[in-house]
Amino acid sequence: MNLDLFDHPDFHPHWREELAPGAVVLRGGALKDDTALLAEINRIAGLVPFQYRATPGGYAMSVAMTNCGDVGWVTDRQGYRYQATSPENQQPWPAMPALFRSLAVDAADQAGFPDFQPDACLINRYQPGAKMSLHQDKDEHDFAAPIVSVSLGLPAIFQFGGMERSDKTQRVALTHGDIVVWGGPSRLRYHGILPLKAGEHPLTGQYRFNLTFRTAGSQA
Residues that bind Fe ion in the complex, under the rule CB under 5 A = 137
Strands (E) located in the chain: 15-20, 23-27, 64-69, 72-76, 79-83, 120-126, 132-135, 147-153, 156-160, 170-174, 179-182, 191-193, 208-214
Binding site for ligand MD6 (CB under 6 A): 124, 132, 137, 147, 149, 158, 180, 182, 191, 193, 210, 212
Is residue 137 marked as binding?
A: yes
155 secondary structure, DSSP code: -
Q: How far apart are CA 69 and CA 149, in angstroms?
A: 15
84 secondary structure, DSSP code: S
Is residue 135 marked as binding?
A: yes
Among 79, 83, 100, 80, smallest CA distance to 91 is for 83
> Which of 93, 207 has the CB closer to ligand MD6?
207
Q: Residue 66 binds which one of ligand MD6, Fe ion, none, with CB within 5 to 8 A depending on kind?
A: none
The 3-state secondary structure of 35-57 reads: HHHHHHHHHHHHHCCCECCECCC
Q: Residue 180 binds which one of Fe ion, ligand MD6, none, with CB within 5 to 8 A depending on kind?
A: ligand MD6
> Which of 89, 185 has the CB closer to ligand MD6?
185
> Which of 93, 158 has the CB closer to ligand MD6?
158
Is residue 89 marked as binding?
A: no
Is residue 106 marked as binding?
A: no
Q: Residue 147 binds which one of Fe ion, ligand MD6, none, with CB within 5 to 8 A depending on kind?
A: ligand MD6
- Residues in binding site for 2-oxoglutarate: 124-126, 208-214
